[in-house]
Amino acid sequence: MKRMIEKPTIAAGIALAAAILGWPTARAQNAELANPQVITDASRPLVELKGMLESAYSRPVTYEESVLVWQGDLGVSPNIRSAKPELALAPKHRSFQLPFRLGGAGAPALDAALVGRILDSYHAQNDGPRFRVASSSYGLHIVPALANDAGGRLVPVASLLDAIITVPAARRAPSGHLHALCDAVSAASGTRMLCGPSMEFNMHFAHVPSDCLFEWGAASAPARAALISLLEQSSTTMTWQLLCGPQASGRPCVLNVGPMIVTAAGADGQPTRNYLLYDRCTVCPPQGRPL
Nearest to 138 by CA among 263, 257, 33: 257
Amino acid at residue number 74? L
Say yes or no to pLDDT of 22 above 50.
Answer: no
Q: Which domain does 96 fall in, by range?
A: 4-290
Segment among 28-37, 80-89, 152-161 with least mean pLDDT: 28-37
Say yes or no to pLDDT of 51 above 70.
Answer: yes
State how far the Cα of 85 lies from the Cα of 108, in Å rounded to an integer: 45
> What is the separation of C-alpha 191 from the centre of its chain, rounded to a whole number of angstroms?
19
The residue among 86 and 160 whose pLDDT is bigger is 160
State how far the Cα of 50 lies from the Cα of 118, in Å rounded to an integer: 11
Give the count of domains, the chain: 1
Cβ within 8 Å of residue 287, ≥6 positions away:
277, 278
Nearest to 185 by CA among 206, 237, 177, 141: 177
Say yes or no to pLDDT of 24 above 50.
Answer: no
pTM of the model: 0.82
What pLDDT was estimated at residue 48?
93
Cβ within 8 Å of residue 60, ≥6 positions away:
54, 138, 139, 140, 237, 238, 239, 260
Q: How confident is the model at residue 185 (pLDDT cuts 50, 70, 90)?
A: very high
Encode pLDDT of 122-139 as tens digits.
999 999 899 999 999 999
